[in-house]
Amino acid sequence: MKIAIIGAGIGGMAAAYDLTQAGHQVTIYEAEDHAGGLASGFKEPHWDWSVEKFYHHWFTSDKDMFDFQRQLGLHDKVVVKRPVTVVHYQDRFYPLDSPLAALTFPGFKFFDMVRFGLVTAYLRYLAAWEPLEKVTAHEWMRKYYGERLYSVHFEPLLIGKFGPHYKEVNMAWFWARFKARSTQLATYQGGFQAFSDQTADILRGMGVHIHLSTPIQSITPQDGQLAITTGEATTLYDRCLVTVSPGQLARLAPDLPQDYLRGLLELKSMGAVVMVLSLRHQLSKQGYYWFNLPKSAGFPFLALVEHTNFLSPEHFGGDHLLYCGDYLETGHEYFRLSQQELLERFLPSLKRINPDFEPDWVQKSWLFSTRYAQPVPLVNHSHNIPAIRTPLPGLYFASMSQVYPWDRGTNFAVRIARQAARLILADAQSGR
C-alpha cells in the first residue's frame, strides 16, 4: 500500500517504521523544517547537544520508547540520571520525590506521612483506573489523602497543570502519574533532536520519504483512496495516519462525519508557553533540577527546570540552561506578550530561587509556545476518546488525546502510533 503519515513527531516515525517493515511504501509530511514534533530542539553554535524547546525527559519505565530505540539500534545512547525534584512550602523548597523525602517534608504531620504512603501505594500497586475516571481528582484526593495533604501538595499541581479546569479532571489521570513514572529520568546523547534526526535518517535508509516544510492543506476521499493536498500537489494514498492535534484533523478532513468532527472539537486541552534562558551561573545552589511552583505563592509560571542540573553544562559550552514553563488556556495573555515582556515578568521570580541572581546573568533567551500541549480528561473521559479508525475509509488518527488514561509524552505517542499501525495492517489484511 501507499501510506501517508501526517506529522514527523516520534509517534509518526514509529508508525512509519512498522508500516515500512511490513512492506508498504510510506511518505511522511511535516510542516516544520525538522522532525521531532513537540519533542524537537534547537542548538547554539557552541553547544555540542541540542536543547528541547519544551522540556522533555523519559522515565525508566517508558517501555514502548526503549523498545523502539532497541529496534532502531539506538538504545546504547540513552543517558539515565537521578535528578532532584522539589516543591515549594512556606517560601522554601524541599525534595518530595521519594518516601524518605516525604518523611522529612515539614508540610506533613506524622499521620499525613502514613496516609501519603498508604494511599500512594494503593494507587501504584492495587487500584484500577476505570473506577477512578468516574470521580474527579479534586474530590477523590480530598477524601482519601485528606484536606491538608491535598491543599499543601496536590491541589497546587492540579491548578498549575489545568488552570480553571482543575476541579474537572478525573482521578484516573492522576492514577497514571503514580503508576507509570519513575524517580530516575533518561535522555538521549546529543538531545531529543539528535534522536529524532537519527531516527529520520534510519527511516530514509529504509525507503521512507520524509517531506519537511510541507504543511498539508486537506485530506479528501477520491476514487476509493485519500487525496493528500499540499501547496504544490495532490497525491493519492491507500491509507493515511494523522498524528497532529484533534483540531488540526478536523480542519484537514472536513469530510469526516459531523458526529466525529464534533467529538474532536469538543475535546478540551491546555496550551503551553516555555521560555528557555541561558545563564552565566548556576541558579540552584543545591543542584535541584525541577521546581514545582504554586500559583498561590505568586510565581508567574508552573515549573522551573534547571536543565544543566540534569545534564552537565559542558554539553552546552558552559552555559547554564533554565526552563520557565506553564500550561495555559489558549486565550491567556502569555500567548500575546512579546519575548521581552514575558522575560521581564519572569525574572523577578528567579531571585526567590537564588537571592544572588541578577538580570545580567541572562545571556540569551528563547520563547516557544503551542496551543495544544495537555489534554484535559474530564469525568468518564474514556467515552470521549476519538477512535483510531475514523469513519472516513482509510483515514486513521493517533494523537496524545488518545493515550488516556496515560499522560501525554513521547513514550505513549509511540504506543498509540504503533497501535494505529497494527490496525492499518490488520484492516488491510482483512480487506477493510
pTM of the predicted structure, to 2 decimals: 0.94
Residues 2/25, Cβ–Cβ less than 8 Å: yes
SS3 253: coil
Q: What is the pLDDT at residue 99?
A: 72
Using CA atoms, how far apart are residues 422 and 410, in angstroms rounded to an integer? Answer: 18
Neighbours of 181 (CB within 10 A): 16
What confidence category does residue 179 fall into, taking pLDDT thresholds of 50, 70 and 90?
confident
Class of domain 269-375: alpha beta
The 10s digit of each residue's pLDDT in 387-413 is: 999 999 999 999 999 999 998 899 999
Q: Is 427 helix (H, G, I), strand (E, B) or coil?
A: helix
Model confidence pLDDT, tens digit, residues 250-287: 999 999 999 999 999 999 999 999 999 999 999 999 99
Question: 160 pLDDT exceeds 90?
Answer: no
Are the beta carbons of 272 and 325 closer than 8 angstroms?
yes
For residue 238, what are the CA distances in angstroms to 30, 70, 270, 369, 424? 19, 30, 34, 34, 10
Task: Work out the number of other CB atoms within 10 angstroms of the CB of residue 26.
Answer: 29
Distances in whole angstroms, Cα of residue 212 to Cα of each of 86, 195, 251: 39, 17, 20
Check: CB of residue 170 under 8 Å from CB of residue 136: yes
307-316 mean pLDDT: 97
Q: What is the CA radius of gyration of the chain?
A: 22
Per-residue confidence at 335, pLDDT binned at 50, 70, 90?
very high
Longest CA–CA separation in the chain, Å: 69
The CA-atom distances, in angstroms, between 364 and each of 104, 164, 276, 317, 323 are: 37, 32, 8, 13, 12
Q: Quick check: 211 pLDDT over 80?
A: yes
Q: Can you tell me the mean pLDDT for 334-339?
A: 96
Of 172-181, 257-266, 283-292, which range is least confident? 172-181
Cell of 339: 519575548
Q: What is the pLDDT of residue 300?
A: 94
User: How many whole angstroms separate alpha carbon 323 and alpha carbon 186?
Assistant: 17
| Statement: residue 182 has pLDDT above 90 | no
Segments making up each domain of the chain, as ranges = 2-56+192-267+386-430, 99-178, 269-375
pLDDT of residue 353: 95
Flag whether pLDDT at 47 surpasses 80: yes
What is the distance between the alpha carbons of residues 164 and 74, in angstroms, rounded to a whole number? 41
| Nearest of 233, 283, 243 to residue 413 by alpha carbon | 243
Q: What is the pLDDT of residue 41?
A: 97
Pairing state of beta strands 58-59 and 92-95? unpaired
Averaged pLDDT for residues 332-351: 96
Q: Residue 181: its pLDDT value, please?
A: 83
Closest listed residue to residue 180, CA positions, set 310, 305, 290, 60: 60
Domain 2-56+192-267+386-430, what architecture?
3-Layer(bba) Sandwich (3.50)
pLDDT band at residue 180 using 50, 70 and 90 as cut-offs: confident
- The three cell numbers of residue 415 are 504506543
| Fold: same for 2-56+192-267+386-430 and 269-375 | no
Cell of 5: 503519515
Q: For residue 83, how many C-alpha atoms fall within 13 Å in the half-sphere facing its CB? A: 24
